[in-house]
Amino acid sequence: MSKKVCVIGGGVAGLAVAIGLHQQGIDVEVVERDKDWKVYHVGIIVQANFIRALEQLGLGKAAVNAGYPYRGARFMTPAGEVLAELPGESQVDGLPGDLGLTRPALHEVLTGKVKELGIPVKLGVTFESFEDRGDAVDVEFTDGSSGTYDLLIAADGNYSAVRKVLWPDAKPAFTGQGVWRYNVPRPADLEWSDLYIGVQNGYKGKAGYCPLTPEEMYIFVVTEEPGNPRFDPATLADEMSKRLAGYGGMLGEAAKAVIDPALVVYRPLEACIMPDPWYQGRVVLIGDAAHSATPHLGQGAAMAVEDAVVLAEELGEDQPIDAALRAFMDRRFERAKLVGTSSIMLGEWEMHPGTAGDPVEVTERIRRTLAEPV
Ligand SMILES: Cc1cc2nc3c(=O)[nH]c(=O)nc-3n(C[C@H](O)[C@H](O)[C@H](O)COP(=O)(O)OP(=O)(O)OC[C@H]3O[C@@H](n4cnc5c(N)ncnc54)[C@H](O)[C@@H]3O)c2cc1C
């Protein structure tokens, strides 16, 4: 039976699921609130399971070509001595294990495919209201149009408006840390993403960098930010530099380039991990709307694309919608929860170093688990 699906949100999860559904022969439409359909300029770190999931959508190679494959992750002391190496392990023949890319580059890969496939996307539009009638969902849009769908997919991110309607008590909570990011030139010999762990200058977190293109890398510093302060935009470069002071190695050198407050991207870390199920009737949450974590494992985008691939596969099967949604949850819940809770735990360990476990062991174990088929 032919199905018709509406996706709210044209980000990583929404675009990936739209591509997957189109490939299954399902009629799909996307609405995206941002009329300019833009993403901010910093980078994103992804691993082999992200590349594998994108490859299932026919986009693995395009993503790799848009970014910079590197050798893997290294854990360092604040002074810049190597503590441990986790080389990336490929899960797709001919494609790498670890990849850095700018957010606009990833956005370009996904939007390019959506346009090529002719999937309808309404920009500057969101839902006004929706009503699940049991056998279909009626949706009214803010541009005055309306539609009737077999399924409404909410891929509208961490602050999901759809989730607010159906689960009004579920809200992202501040985890205690914030992350500061800045793009700088890539040193010619940088082939790893390095994480400098341990308390530095009294700031409880970590710092590091990741190559994004042959010319560019981005540096980040994650710090405890008691009380979740708001910063004057004019002070962002000074605040970030203060948090990077005293680091050694390549990070110490790279930190000198943090001078323009307008190029600093600061985000308090806020997470919301929904319990099973992520659906009510014919409305389902995917990506950050269902399980936003902190970036400690660099897995948010991978979880979003894996959700998309699995949901499209299950909806492509000859089964009722509720059976497809249940099968989707059975394949996705434990995996996304493991990533979410472990990411938050790594941040907790950074803030409470006296009680911390071994972040290298956790990261390595989760990488192995995520290499298993979804
Ligand atoms: C500081 C930080 C660093 C991160 N670093 C990494 C990393 O290195 N690696 C990694 O894998 N992940 C990282 N993540 C996580 C990653 O960005 C997310 O997991 C991923 O973007 C989730 O995709 P999504 O499509 O669910 O949500 P989003 O990417 O947020 O997309 C949601 C889309 O929905 C649109 N939208 C929102 N509300 C509405 C509405 N009401 N109607 C219509 N459209 C709407 C938005 O405009 C947007 O286009 C990081 C996250 C943060 C906060």
Spatial distance between the Cα atoms of 225 and 212, rounded to a whole number of angstroms: 27
Ligand 1 centroid, distance to 367 Cα (angstroms): 21
DSSP letters of 61-91?
HHHHHHSEEESEEEEE-TTS-EEEEEE---S
For ligand 1, atom 12, the nearest C-alpha belongs to: 300
Ligand 1 centroid, distance to 303 Cα (angstroms): 11
What's the confidence (pLDDT) of residue 2? 85
What's the confidence (pLDDT) of residue 78? 96
What's the confidence (pLDDT) of residue 1? 62
What's the confidence (pLDDT) of residue 283? 98
What's the confidence (pLDDT) of residue 41? 83
Ligand 1 centroid, distance to 212 Cα (angstroms): 18
Domain 4-172+270-370 has CATH 3.50.50.60: yes
pLDDT tens digit at each of 374 positions of the chain: 689 999 999 999 999 999 999 999 999 999 999 999 999 888 999 999 999 999 999 999 999 999 999 999 999 999 999 999 999 999 999 999 999 999 999 999 999 999 999 999 999 999 999 999 999 999 999 999 999 999 999 999 999 999 999 999 999 999 999 999 999 999 999 999 999 999 888 899 999 999 999 999 999 999 999 999 999 999 999 999 999 999 999 999 999 999 999 999 999 999 999 999 999 999 999 999 999 999 999 999 999 999 999 999 999 999 999 999 999 999 999 999 999 999 999 999 999 998 889 999 999 999 999 999 99
Domain edges within the chain:
4-172+270-370
Ligand 1: atom nearest CA of 265 is 1
Per-residue tokens: 281: 């009737």
Spatial distance between the Cα atoms of 46 and 305, rounded to a whole number of angstroms: 11
Residue in 22, 10, 39, 9 with CA at minimum distance from that of residue 103: 39
Helix (H) or strand (E) holding 13: helix 12-23
